[in-house]
Amino acid sequence: MEDYSDFQPQHNSNECNNKIVCVNMTNSKEVNTEIHKFIMENGIQMDNFIRELEHSKCRMDTLTRDFLNKMKQLKTARINYCKGKILRSQLFKNDIGNFAENIILFSNISTLMELELHNNKRKLLNSGLFENDCILKVLRLCENEIRWLPNNVFKNFSFLTDLRLDSCEIETVEEDSFVGISGLVQLMLQNNLIAKLPRRVFRDLHNLNYLNLSGNKIEDLNFNCLFGLDNLKKIDLSQNKINTLWSNAFSNCPKLECLNLSNNCIGFVFSNALIDLRNLLLLDMRNNVIQTLPSRLFRENTQLEILDLGNNNICCLREAYFEGLCNLKQLILESNRIKKIQNDIFKPLKSISVLNLRNNQTKFFNSCYSHI
């Protein structure tokens, strides 16, 4: 007889018809007859009352025919760190030839709102991930081995608001990979192997607030890459290989508040690179190879409060560098090669409270900081 000591459905046996039931099958080796027997002996109608399912550190193939699809009220399913490759028929559709053991395809689950499939060694997503339209709002597929996001892979996820695909070894994103999920609010793609973003790849994501692309291999970021992100407020592009900030690079993101470009290879910045970012509050360009910045680069960033240019190769601060930064509170210029600061360079900084110039070769003159 298998040990089911970890299997603890949370319910009140006297009032189970009015309670939300949580089934935890962590570390279970079998889930067939014993679990069904336990459920039925305690008066729980599995078809109607199981709302949450935890299936972690188990063998995937122990979930048998119809087990999940019978849970008509299932809201949350967490299937994490499972070693098996095959989920049996009817639980996941697996009639796709040689790729069957790597594809996850749900069917007949109309109520599921949250699904976690962390670290299950998934290697392929298919455009029919869910057989029919679903009301899923949260989908977490991080720490898998997906590598490729096909066109229309999320086409049945019209209610999705939170999508996590971080640490999945993704190399290729198609132009239509994110079509159909216009309600998405958060998209996590960090720590993958993405080197190129197709033009207009995010065009359907008009409600996206947060996009994390950090820790990839992106080299080029042009105007078309971010098309459609009208409501984006935060984007993390740190730890990539971006070498140039092109004109109008972020013009499609007029509501952007936080922009992280740290730890890239940025050496050249066009004068209109930050145009239209009138709501920007934080700009992090730390740890790049910038030697000089165009005058009046920040002229439209009047709401900017924090500007970090530390650990670059800036050697001179010229006139009009900081024009427009009337609300800037923190300016970080540490660990550059600054030798010369022109007179009145800090005059536009009416609200400055922190100025960090450590680890430079600067000689200070009263006229440089008389307005601080």
pLDDT digits (tens, 9 = 90+) for 30-85: 444 455 555 544 544 555 556 666 655 555 444 544 455 555 555 555 555 444 33
Measured CA to CA, the distance from residue 205 to residue 214 in angstroms comes to 19
Domain membership of residue 115 (yes or no) is yes
pLDDT score for 134: 73
pLDDT < 50 regions, the chain? 1-20, 29-33, 40-41, 43-44, 60-62, 64-66, 81-105, 107-108
User: Is residue 299 one of the residues assigned to a domain?
Assistant: yes
- Residue 97: the pLDDT is 25
Closest to 17 (Cα-Cα) out of 46, 35, 44: 44
Long-range contacts of 95-100 (CB under 8 A, 24+ apart): 96/126, 99/124, 99/126
**C-alpha to C-alpha distance for 59 and 248, rounded to whole angstroms:** 50
Last residue of a domain, one of 142, 162, 191: 142
Beta strands in 198-332 (DSSP E): 210-212, 234-236, 244-245, 258-260, 268-269, 282-284, 306-308, 316-317, 330-332
Q: Is residue 311 part of a domain?
A: yes
pLDDT in tens, 114-160: 888 777 665 667 665 555 667 889 998 898 888 999 999 998 889 99
Nearest to 239 by CA among 274, 257, 220, 265: 265
Q: What's the CA gap between 44 and 182, in Å, rounded?
A: 38
Within a domain: residue 126? yes
Inter-residue contact 232 to 208 (CB < 8 Å): yes
Answer yes or no: is 68 within a domain. yes
Which residue, 142, 163, 190, sits at the end of a domain? 142
Total domains present in the chain: 2
Residue that finishes a domain, picked among 121, 142, 163: 142
For the chain, the C-alpha Rg in angstroms (whole number) is 26
Q: Domain of 357?
A: 290-372
Q: What is the pLDDT of residue 124?
A: 62
Q: What is the pLDDT of residue 129?
A: 58
pLDDT at 207: 98
Q: What is the CATH number of the domain that holds 372?
A: 3.80.10.10
The owner of tokens 């920040």 is 298
Report the amino acid identity of residue 323: E
Domain contains 77: yes
Question: Is 155 a domain residue?
Answer: no
Residues in the chain: 372
pLDDT at residue 343, rounded to an integer? 82
| Residue 251: inside a domain | no
Q: Are strands 316-317 and 162-164 parallel, antiparallel or unpaired?
A: unpaired
Q: CA-CA distances (angstroms) from residue 271 to 238, 251, 307?
A: 21, 13, 17
Query: Residue 16 has what pLDDT?
Result: 38
Give me the pLDDT at residue 257, please.
Answer: 99
